[in-house]
C-alpha cells in the first residue's frame, strides 16, 4: 500500500524498521500507537532470531534452567501453531503449565542424568535431552511424557503406529 510516511491510522501503521505500511494484525500488542508495537511481526521475529544467535543466548541455553526455558517455548510453539509445518501433529493437544513442567523436570533424575551426559559429550545434538510424548494422540501432560535423548525421540517418531518404520 502506498500511504504517507510515518502514517498511523485505524487500519494500520508504517513499520519503524522496514518502513512498510501494514495492517494492525501484522503487529504485536505493545505500548506504541493503538496499543501495538512499532515494528511489524516479520521485523520483530527477524530481530529476535538474530539476537538468539548471539553467544549469550547460546550459553544460557546450555544451563539447565535456560535449556528448560527453551524446551518449554518450543513445546508451546508446536501446540499453539507457531511452528506451522508440524501443527497438524499437535493441534488441540494439551500443554501442562510452565511451572508444573519446570517442577517435573527439576525433580526428574533422568533429566539430570541426560543433561549431564549431553554436557560431558560436548553438547552433541544426538544426546540432547528431549521430552517424548508416549501417546502421540495426547499432549504434554505428566502421565504422557518421558525424558529420552533427541536421537531416541527421533527414532521413535520414525516408527509407525505398529512399531515398524513408516513409508512416509
pLDDT of residue 165 exceeding 60, the answer is no
In sequence order, the β-bridge partners of residue 40 are 27
pLDDT reported for residue 166: 44
pLDDT band for position 54 (cuts 50, 70, 90): low
Q: Grid coordinates representing 25?
A: 494484525
Task: Tell me the percentage of the chain whose pLDDT exceeds 70.
Answer: 84
CA distance 93 to 131: 15
pLDDT of residue 32 exceeding 80, the answer is no
The mean of the pLDDT values for the chain is 85
pLDDT of residue 68 exceeding 90, the answer is yes
In sequence order, the β-bridge partners of residue 29 are 36
Phi, psi at 162, each rounded to 5°: -100, 15
| Domain map (residue ranges) of the chain | 12-49, 64-158
Among the residues of the chain, which ranges form H helices?
A: 41-53, 55-61, 64-80, 87-90, 98-106, 109-120, 150-158
Between 34 and 161, the more confident residue is 34
Please give the model's pTM, rounded to 2 decimal places.
0.64
CA distance 84 to 82: 6
pLDDT of residue 28 exceeding 50, the answer is yes
Amino acid at each position: 500500500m502506498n500511504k504517507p510516511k510515518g502514517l498511523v491510522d485505524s487500519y494500520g501503521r508504517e513499520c519503524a524498521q522496514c518502513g512498510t505500511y501494514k495492517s494492525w494484525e501484522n503487529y504485536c500488542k505493545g505500548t506504541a500507537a493503538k496499543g501495538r508495537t512499532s515494528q511489524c511481526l516479520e521485523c520483530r521475529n527477524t530481530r529476535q532470531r538474530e539476537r538468539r544467535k548471539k553467544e549469550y543466548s547460546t550459553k544460557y541455553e546450555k544451563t539447565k534452567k535456560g535449556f528448560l526455558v527453551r524446551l518449554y517455548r518450543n513445546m508451546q510453539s508446536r501446540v499453539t501453531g507457531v511452528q506451522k509445518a508440524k501443527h497438524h501433529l499437535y493441534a488441540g493437544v494439551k500443554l501442562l503449565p510452565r511451572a508444573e513442567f519446570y517442577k517435573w523436570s527439576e525433580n526428574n533424575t533422568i533429566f539430570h542424568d541426560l543433561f549431564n551426559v549431553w554436557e560431558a559429550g560436548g553438547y552433541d545434538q544426538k544426546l540432547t535431552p528431549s521430552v517424548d510424548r508416549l501417546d502421540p494422540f495426547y499432549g504434554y501432560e505428566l502421565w504422557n511424557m518421558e525424558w529420552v535423548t533427541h536421537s531416541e525421540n527421533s527414532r521413535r517418531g520414525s516408527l509407525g503406529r505398529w512399531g515398524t518404520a513408516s513409508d512416509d
